Structure 1
């Protein structure tokens, strides 16, 4: 089975619950997730009816969209699903007339930083101590304390 050929990405249904288990893989704060879900679009990646990925994106200005969360079920990570979700957002919002797309990730998110840059995103700025200021618990990833948010953007 070629995963990318069988992958289907769709917007979440009006009465459908967002997959919090997946969303918390990328953002450990239920409160923050619920906050940005209220004002955003949520897209699900399905493979043979199983939800294996998700992204949440919202308008931050007239011309700019931000991906607030992008996550892939652990068993499917490293198979190109994240790239597929990211490019779906780039293509979808480019067609909708947006001029730029932004995303933020932790300083410890080595794989995500590589993925975003390979997809044409460029580092824009670093928000020092973002994760220590806005998250109650310390976050560790790849053996690194996640303290700073690295913001990236891409022109559409």
Structure 2
């Protein structure tokens, strides 16, 4: 793997929607949380190959990874683990004690990754993707229906 760098998106930079929309195909949903979030970019030789978004859920206890994505050609190379570790460190430094992440019931690889990194299933929100997205979302040949919310103490 080539050398990579993780840095915060600057205020004058445009968010990498091409990456954010890999994890959340609704620009409307992305735009609803970006103004209140911190965006971190994963760069490799001046090319942005990954992104994650931290969104505080309260003043100091719980922060959520609202979006995490890697370009398809860089998936399966450990970047997800790297970004989760970085998000955990940043969240701890900000004073948070819990890190939350959510994904679709069809996101088998992501669920496996999150569980292997110490996240525990907190709740299932039935029909989340049916109720909140105008266009049906399919993953692994199955329609996304329920939101799986996971959390870990950090």
Q: If the length of structure 1 is used for normalisation, what is the TM-score?
A: 0.96
Correspondences of 1:27-46 after superposition (within 5 Å): 27-46=24-43
Runs of 4+ in 1 over 3 A off after TM superposition: none
Q: Give structure 2 stretches of 5+ with no counterpart.
A: none
In 2, Cα distance between equivalents of 1:96 and 1:33: 23
In 2, Cα distance between equivalents of 1:98 and 1:64: 6
In 2, Cα distance between equivalents of 1:128 and 1:18: 30
Q: Secondary structure at the match of 1:133?
A: helix
1:149 aligns with 2:139: no
Q: Report the equivalent of 1:125.
A: 123
In 1, Cα distance between equivalents of 2:84 and 2:50: 11
Q: Report the equivalent of 2:8.
A: 11
Q: Report the equivalent of 2:71.
A: 73
- The number of residues matched between the two structures is 153
> In the TM superposition, what is the alpha-carbon distance from 1:37 to its structure 2 partner?
0.4
In 2, Cα distance between equivalents of 1:8 and 1:79: 15
State the Cα RMSD in Å.
0.8
Deviations along 1:102-151, one digit per CA (max 9) or x if unpaired, are 01100000011011111110001100000000001111111111100000
Q: Report the equivalent of 1:102.
A: 100
Q: Report the equivalent of 2:51.
A: 54
> In the TM superposition, what is the alpha-carbon distance from 1:95 to its structure 2 partner?
2.1
Q: If the length of structure 2 is used for normalisation, what is the TM-score?
A: 0.97
